[in-house]
Structure 1
Amino acid sequence: MSGTAITTSGAIAAGSVCRERRRVPCGRGPPAPNLIAMSVVAIDFETANERRDSACAVGLAWIEGGRVVRRVSRLIRPPQMRFSPGNIRIHGILPADVRDAPTFPEAMAEFLPDLSAGGMLAHNAGFDMGVLAASLAAWGEPVPEMAGHCTLQIARRIFPDPAGHGLAKVAGRLGIRFEHHDAGEDAYACAEIALAALRETGATDIADLVRGLGLTPIRAVAAPRRDFTRSTSARAIRASGIVDLRPSNELRFSMRGSTGNRYVLALEEQADGPYLRCSCPAGTHRRRCRHVDALVEGDVTDLISNNLGDVERLREKLDGKDVGPLRSKGIAAA
């Protein structure tokens, strides 16, 4: 999900808005089993700010015959030229880089048929599918029936590791070499992680893999924005005294639980360091909480508050710090 240095690093010259690589079959290791007839596209978006309709770059990687055979990076001009400093620090894209870039519908027109017809993959697919749907809707375009599978969820089950399952971490453990924070490179790494999972399990294809893991596809749906602070759940949480949802500079998030309940997470500065508190039952009993685990790792699949930019701020604050149950008292760990 994050990143591209496709302009400021010089990987794409100024004024250029597209990069495409075609590869001879040279995937890592032998081809994944029985993938000869299928076509799958891995996708990665970068956003200008916290809004999901602010896509400023896209990367895609095509899997055919069990290998990555094509890669594309493309800059996108978002509807509003508002770039958050935190997002710029992640991907290095500036407003000047996308001033002459195509709009989202223009940039994605040639790719939508492939995304609709074949399988789709993304690392932290909730984010990328949300960006896809929200960006189309922002330009008044219909959102076609599309769904994708999440290599973050796949990696957690096939390659468990307490160090986490962010894109760079999983790729590093699997020996996948790529330039992190480039949309095309990130899409390529996502594709290679899926291929590695197929080889590891012997699954016949992505559908067979996710079916065996019990994973459901994540759909591209342009959901209307809601004011969570006025909801019944928010009033109940306020009454509990766990967290105040009034706007402030504190980092707060709303997450969807496994049964559909809403839980609020808030970062508190305490004497012994940052403390991420969750309103779920596990969190209130100071036990390990999967909601905080996911948020700190950058998994926004179940994030229902509209503050993606704050997720990056949270991760910056917690980078290298001991949070949650890694201390004697805690709620979650990165």
Structure 2
Amino acid sequence: MVESASDETVLREAVALASLAPSIHNTQPWQWIVHPEQAELYADRERQLTATDPDGRSLMLSCGVALQHAQVALAAAGHPPEVERLPDPGQPDLLARIRLGTPAPAGPDLVREYQSMLIRHTDRRPFAPQYPPQDALDELTSVAEDAGAHLHLVRPDQVTLVNLLVSRAGGIEGDDPEYRAELAAWTHRDSADGLPPDVLPSDEPRRVPIRDFTPDDDAEPTEVPDAPPVADEYARYAVLHGDRDDEPHWLRGGEALGAVLLAAVRLGLATSPFSDPVEVMATREKLARDILAGLGHPYLVLRFGVASPEAPPPPRTPRRPADETTRVEPE
């Protein structure tokens, strides 16, 4: 008779898999503490981007994705989790507690979600000349709703405005020396965190520009072009948003983001995020007013498309080892 693994072992394996979650600039701003019967997720404020993300919105979204990934790993292992979010007002950085619920076998849909988690990666390249199927995009909006947030598909007549807002946010952030220093500190790194050069985008232009990952701190700030040449016309864009702009909703927004990203893999779509227009108050407010019609608070802009079959996938961004993100507390 094979002895079943302890709760602690199951939880430790699940939070290790949760490290596959994407995070802003690959900061991985989370810390897990595993106890014999529960795991606790904490925000690691030492890894917060204070110039780029002073409110902690992107930090909370990142931690929410990690929380969602941990839940998928547990459920796929036959242990549907019980989650308590923000359980202690006296510990605001304690974001969630996870316990094992009643064992239940994982169905095929859950197995596919787990498999998607293992292969998901951000793809910033121009997409293949093929539009994403509308039914797949509609399914992503349903996935976001089921997970506690909303996904607004950007209409064709709104793409130019999204282009402008991304460019404007890049220009405003690029003029800030603290932002440029912070970006430089977290990119072009040869380590298990941050963004190494081989995962960063090329200079090939697209309809909606991506973040400039190579700011020259010694150069004078320059204007960002409002309308770069079209090279990514087959991409579709969406705004992830929520009903409120506060930490509980950012955390749930991150869980919804994780669910959307895994569903996109299952549906054969590649994805990449744009956080820049949400990082700047002026462009965030315009996103809310002119793209969302005042019906929500934007958390992130997402780009969807069909990956080009002619190009190999980009390398996966490295992750910190589990012993850096997880601490095991004996009973």
TM-score, normalised by the number of residues in structure 2: 0.33
Identify, as 1 or 2, the structure richer in helix. Answer: 2
